[in-house]
Homo-oligomer: A and B are copies of this chain.
Amino acid sequence: MTDLFWPGDERAGSHFSTPDFVGALLAVEEDWLGREISTPVDPDQLALAAESGGNPVIPLVRLLREQEPDVHRGLTSQDVVDSALMRMAAAAAVTLRRDVHAVAGRLAELAELHRDTAMVARTLTQHAVPTTFGFRVSAWLTAVLDADDDLARLAFPQQLGGAAGTRAALVELGREVPLGVPRWHTTRAPVTRIGDALAGVTDACARIANDVVVMSRPEIGELAEGTGGGSSTMPGKANPTLSVLVRRAALTTPQLAATLHLAAAQQVDDRADGGWHAEWATLRDLVRRTLVAASQTHDLVADLVVDTDRMAATLAAAGDTVLSEQRAMAAAAGHEPATAYLGDAAAHVDAVVARARQTLEETP
């Protein structure tokens, strides 16, 4: 699966693809039925038949019952769609965290490697004080670990309530379902939490990409993507393509997460009249774009070219500007300026790297 309108989409593999959705719907029905279903399902036919009832489960059940009359007994279509979405989301989260951890692992290496690589800090775009590239990378790493913490907390509950959540049909049929199995037809925190966490991942990826985009400008030249993208008309031009594509994603995901909240806030009655239906494609796009962005970010940091000489040169050229604060502080403290002016940057790098190592170890 790929998307000509979203270069790199193939990195998301089959997650939330049409076959994946069909497979997840079938798996939910199979689990409920207690045996395999062998009816072949044509995804396009299913999609075409989905509109009249508003969702794909109605025609799917009609089809399956030709061979399996007992399929779907006691369920409502939302039970099946929601459970299928959560299966897909859970699988995608495993893949996503693998990529996020790969990014974190690489950033931990970079932070350690450049723990003492001096460069100029920039605030509001201007030269500020000295820093290290390792310290900068520790900020990237913090963003990634924060995002991973939110991913780690996600749950992917199945949905099981029947027509209106009361499980009346299940009881009528004599099927017991433990109370602990949740029902959340009209309370959508399980969905909005996923959306928020995914947006947090693209925030973190963009935070890295923004720096690469700035620092790979030729006038700065302290970073470069390992494999720059070409131009259709200018031979030899090398663009920071991965960074550009990651930034692209992060411009779109917050609004998708907001759509999930808006849909949650439209819940009404015992099952909603539009808010639910708006979630499916929104979640699909959020998941795939986040997977793509995380994977691209991994390539980006894996092959990142760091020009430490250029960093040193820029810092040296910045000269007095970046020492003005130190002089003021030393004067206030009544002593001569210390030779270095890096505060606890190195210790902070160590602490962030240690946090990363712990995260990476704890996760299976």
Contacts and interface: CB of A to CB of B under 8 A. Distances in A.
A270 B131 contact: yes
B232 A77 contact: yes
B123 A163 contact: yes
A53 B231 contact: yes
A236 B321 contact: yes
A308 interface: no
Nearest to A18: B4
Contact of A61 (B70, B232, B252): B232
A106 interface: no
Interface residues of A, number: 173
Interface in A83-125: 121-125
A127 interface: yes
A30 interface: no
A237 B125 CA distance: 11
A33 interface: no
Oligomer copy total: 4
A207 to B, nearest CB: 5
Given A166-B343, A167-B344, A232-B77, A324 B255 contact: no
A348 B7 contact: no
Given A52-B241, A128-B270, A281 B171 contact: no
Interface string A333-364: 10001100111110110010000000000000
Interface in A208-256: 209-211, 213-214, 216-220, 227, 229-241, 243-256
Contacts of A338: 171-172
A274 B261 contact: no
A129 to B, nearest CB: 5
A58 interface: yes
B72 A124 contact: no
A280 interface: yes
A163 B121 CA distance: 9
A231 B211 CA distance: 22
A360 B200 CA distance: 30
29 contacts: A5-B281, A7-B47, A10-B48, A52-B227, A58-B229, A61-B232, A73-B332, A121-B164, A122-B270, A126-B240, A128-B234, A131-B270, A143-B186, A149-B189, A170-B344, A172-B337, A177-B344, A187-B204, A192-B199, A213-B273, A244-B274, A246-B274, A252-B281, A253-B261, A254-B257, A255-B259, A255-B262, A257-B257, A285-B285
